[in-house]
Amino acid sequence: MLRPVAPRRVAVFRALQLGDMLCAVPALRAMRRAWPAAHITLIGLPWARAFATRYAELVDEFVPFPGAPGFVEQEQTSTALPVFYAQMRARHFDLAIQLHGSGSRSNGVVFNLGAVACAGFVPPEETHQLAGCFIPWPEQLPEPLRYLALMHALGLPADDATLSIPVTRPDRDEYAALAASCHIEPERLVLIHPGAQLPSRRWPAVRFAAVADALADAGCQVAITGSEAELPLTGEVLGAMTAPALHLAGKTSLGGLAVLVSRARLVVCNDTGISHVAAAMKTASVVVASGSDTRRWAPLDSVRHRVLADWPACRPCMYRDCPYGHPCALNVSVESVVDAAREQLTQALRLRTPADAADDAPDAAHAHNASAPPNQRVHADSLRAASSASVSAAPPATPKEVRHVR
């Protein structure tokens, strides 16, 4: 373990997409609480500049990662790396923290930042010791808890795993304008979000349409959401529906989407970024998880968030397009999703009130639920065990918080 001296300059490497970044918020929060005077630099994908701006109380500076071979989220080239590494070494970081995964590729990036000390994870296939604070990659833990385990290994208090999205007055104003122009009725609003970055993670659009029709027939106001790039997909869902629905794809920023989600009764989606937005805003959800490792990515609150998944032998996978006919998606029926959605809507009336929605979207630069639910408060003993236990690569049985669907 590193000596308990607060670093002055800290680099955090996590060059990933929205859902991944939201899962790192508890670790960033733990750093800021433990090191309030530290200058924390986030190194991430270019889009994450907006993320760093939104989380200004947790992150002081953003630096875009230029890409490297093996990092599939952006151009895989090493052309800009020499200049990038020289610029990072000139910052004289006291500590560089790898929050980009198991470390098989990302540890090399962190070591090249030139920090006095480094921290991160050792992948299962590596047995040699690394200089600094490195722990075995905790494959058995959900994503937010993996990074809190590293925080614990660094000696930081790390017992709050709640996700959060700070929202501002402009975010509220954006939602208010959208609600007025589209005649949104929050008390019966259900969001259908059919997109996901990888096609292998998408449940069929025609099935989302069938779910949307069933919920509209039950009296819900259905809105289809997505990014501007997902307009063809959201249009496909609308085209397959028989009931009317709002088309909100491409009409919200992250902050506007967060407020929209906070006002909705339910989100029905794939295992993608909006699932974590729903978790952060404490809005009930039904998540159809195709291909992904639900042990890693399922929301921690398994009461508020229902995950439906099927587990063929090929799962979890890293394919962009499924080469086997996509059984994990097709084995989740429309009926099972509709049933889960109805149950979640009924339960949401007990768990949530309109006042809760207002509380979930405060006008603050750094807002989170200070009193986390019991299943999102993390015991130090469990994190200590994760930081020292050997890592097992064996696939899990169907996770108990995930409903197995056939």
Domain holding 103, by residue range, is: 9-153
Query: What's the confidence (pLDDT) of residue 125?
Result: 78
For the chain, the straight-line distance linking the first and the last C-alpha, in angstroms and rounded, comes to 46
Tokens of 241: 């529906």
Prediction pTM value:
0.86
Q: Could you give the C-alpha distances from 228 to 191, 348, 364, in angstroms and in order? A: 16, 29, 27
Q: Which of 3-7, 16-20, 384-388 has the lowest mean pLDDT?
A: 384-388
Do 233 and 276 belong to one domain? yes
Q: Rounded to whole angstroms, how far apart are CA atoms 192 and 178? A: 17
Sign of CA dihedral 280, 49, 86, 94: negative
Predicted pLDDT of residue 397: 35
Does 196 map to a domain? yes
Is residue 119 within 8 A of residue 134, CB to CB? The reply is: yes
In a domain, 384, yes or no: no
Please report where in the chains the tokens 């809105």 appear, as a residue.
Answer: 223
Q: Give domain status of residue 346, yes or no.
A: yes
DSSP, res 124: T
- Let me know whether 229 and 255 are in one domain: yes
pLDDT in tens, 266-302: 999 999 999 999 999 999 999 999 999 998 999 999 9
The 10 Å CB-count burial string (b at 16+, else e) for 382-393 is bbeebbeeebee
- Pick the more confident residue, 159 or 402: 159
- Tell me what the pLDDT averaged over the chain comes to: 88
Q: Rounded to the nearest 5°, which phi and psi values hold at 18? A: -55, -55
Render 256-272 in DSSP notation, one character per residue.
Answer: HHHHHHHH-SEEEEESS
For residue 111, the one-letter residue type is: F
Residues 185 and 102 in one domain: no
Classify residue 404: in a domain, yes or no. no
Same domain, 44 and 182: no
For residues 221-242, one letter each, b for 16 or more C-beta atoms within 10 angstroms of the residue's C-beta and e for the rest, the string is bbbbbbbeebeebbebbbebbe
Same domain assignment for residues 329 and 182: yes
The reply to whether 60 and 134 lie within a common domain is yes
Q: Which CATH number is 197's domain given?
A: 3.40.50.2000
* The predicted structure's pLDDT at residue 381: 56
CB-CB contact of 29 with 368 (8 Å): yes
As for how many domains the chain has, the answer is: 2
Helix extents (H) in 132-253: 143-153, 169-182, 205-217, 231-240
Q: Residue range 290-316: average pLDDT?
A: 93
